[in-house]
Structure formats: structure tokens, C-alpha cells
Amino acid sequence: MSFLVSSEWLDEHRRDEHVRVVDCRFELKDAAAGHEAYVKDHIPGAVFIDVDKHLSAQAGTHGGRHPLPDMDFFAQVLSERGIDMQTTVVAYDDQGGMGAARFWWLMQYAGHTNTYVLDRSYTHWVKEGFPTTEEIPTPLMKQMKIDREPNQLVHLEEVKQQLRNEHVALVDARSYERYAGENEEVDAVSGHIPGAYHYFWKDVLREDGTWKSQDELRDHFRGLEGFDEVISYCGSGITACVNVLGMREAGIEQVRLYNGSWSDWISYPDLPIEKEPNTL
């Protein structure tokens, strides 16, 4: 099974009554950029979902920079966009999959397993000559009911308990420079959670920005096959979702998201940090 779909498949099925396309374009340093890009043009029929407003809650002292949204609120967001449990949903973005993968993961957490990600960026869609529009759709209201899947998520206390557990792999999706504490431009403290391995989230993509095949992803994540479970984290729970999706594509089923990620971890000054890289 794959959670990725091609441009050809999406163009063929985007008009289907049970299919909803979701635009998740998003920039970490410009909160308005995604919606502005959507208003300018998008895939016909696509609705917009905002990573900051709809896929995250407001940050507090703890919980990281992108806490999970209230799930009743998330259900309402989906309902207003014509999405329920029977809808086939395809998400896309223009940032290497981080917005679309965050949406995909939240849908998995919500119990909606019929959600997919376009296997390339919106820029690819345009360059390949597929249609775009400025028209904003007005889908019929649906009634989304959340059926939460708690096994998709891991919380701080469990991460602490799993430190140095040889059967559980912690995977850090940030750049190597941030992971190794060489250059931290986002968070106040540099380094990584002790014992974590580095798998940069962009490495699930080919050089042209399209997603690697399942065979390529199996090769990429082969070092994790011997673990009973993988915990994925990043800076704030966004790009870690790309690795979760990549691992699922590679056949690694026991993978969970530590949503608070590094920004949550360092909000507790007594927790240990590490800068020395770990190798498999």
C-alpha cells in the first residue's frame, strides 16, 4: 500500500464526488505565504488548510512550537471543507511535503486512513502542464467524526522512558547542523535528544523534489529495520511527519510522532541534551 499518488491519478480523479483535494502550502517563516499562494492559484477544486491555524494550536510554555490542534476544532475544519470519513483526501504543498505530511499524519491520528499525499510539489504540477485555477470552491458541508488513534502519538514522558532503550530508535528529522548542535537558528538550545539518529527529512525526496519510490525509501531507512519501534521528531512536529510518511512507505509500521519535538524537550531545563552524533 502507498500513501502517495501521482499527478496523473489526481488529475483523473479530482472531480470525483468522493475526492477532496487539500492545499497545505506553508512557510515556517511567513505565516501568510501559504494562503496568499492558494488565493493566487491552486489545483482546481482544492480547499485550503493552514498549518498554523488549522493543524496546530497556539504555543505555550511547553508542548513545542506547533502543538496539536483541538481535535473537535479540527473535525469542524474538515467538515466545513466537505470532508468526512468516507472522503478520499489528497494533500499537496510546495515545500517538500512538510505541510501535506503534517495534514496526512493528523488524519491518521484522527482515524481517517483514506488520506494521501501528492508525490511531488505544486510547482511540479504547474510545470507538467496540469490545470490550475483562481476559483475558490464552496464544498457542501459534511460531518466529520474523529476516531482518534492514540498509537500514532508519543508524549514527553514516554520519550524520557525510552531513552537508551536499544529496541526503540529516536529519529531526528532536522538538518545535520541543527542535530549536531553546530548551527541552531530556530530554537534557543542546540543539540539533540540523547541517543537520536539523524535522518534529514528532505532525504526522502529525489534531487528533483519528487518523492522516492518505496524501494528507494526501504534502502534509505534500512538501518531502522531491526528496531521494535521508531519515534520521529524534529523541531516542532512538522517535518518529522515527512519522515513518518517516508517510513510508512518503506514498510516500517511501528513509527510514532513525538509532536512536541525538540522545542518541547528544551522547554524543560533539567532534561539531557547531546551533540555527539549517533550512528547505526
Per-residue pLDDT reduced to its tens digit, 87-111: 999 999 999 999 999 999 999 999 9
Q: Position 268: which residue type?
A: Y
CA 227 to chain centre: 22
Banded model confidence at residue 192, pLDDT cuts 50, 70, 90: very high
Grid-cell match 473535525, residue found? 75
What pTM, to 2 d.p., does this model score?
Answer: 0.97
Q: For the chain, first and last CA: distance in Å?
A: 27
- Tell me the CA distances in angstroms from 74 to 21, 142, 241, one per residue in order: 16, 13, 17
Banded model confidence at residue 186, pLDDT cuts 50, 70, 90: confident
Q: Is 188 a residue whose pLDDT tops 90? A: no
- pLDDT computed for residue 183 by the predictor: 86
Residues classed as catalytic: 234
Percent of the chain with pLDDT over 90: 95
b/e sequence 213-250, b meaning 16+ C-beta within 10 Å: ebebbbebbeebeebebbbbbbbbbbbbbbbbbbbbbb
User: What are 117's strand-pairing partners?
Assistant: 4, 91
Consecutive H or E run containing 158: helix 156-162
Q: Position 211: which residue type?
A: W
Q: What span, in angstroms and rounded, lies between the C-alpha atoms of 34 and 45? A: 17
- pLDDT computed for residue 187 by the predictor: 82
- pLDDT computed for residue 77 by the predictor: 99
- pLDDT computed for residue 85 by the predictor: 98
Q: Is 193 a residue whose pLDDT tops 90? A: yes
* DSSP helix/strand/coil, 33: helix
Q: Give per-residue pLDDT as tens, 23-58.
A: 999 998 888 999 999 999 999 999 999 999 999 999
The residues, ordered by sequence, that sit 6+ positions from 107 with a Cβ below 8 Å of its Cβ are 89, 113, 115
CATH number of 4-148: 3.40.250.10
Average pLDDT over residues 70-92: 98
- pLDDT computed for residue 252 by the predictor: 97
Grid-cell match 524501494, residue found? 215
Backbone φ/ψ region at 105: left (φ over 0), alpha (ψ -120 to 50), beta: alpha
Percent of the chain with pLDDT over 70: 100
Helices of type H across 24-97:
33-40, 71-80
Grid-cell match 480547499, residue found? 47
Q: Give per-residue pLDDT as tens, 242-266.
A: 999 999 999 999 999 999 999 999 9
CATH 3.40.50.10490 fits 153-265, yes or no: no
* DSSP helix/strand/coil, 42: strand
Q: Where in the chain is the domain with CATH 3.40.250.10?
A: 4-148, 153-265
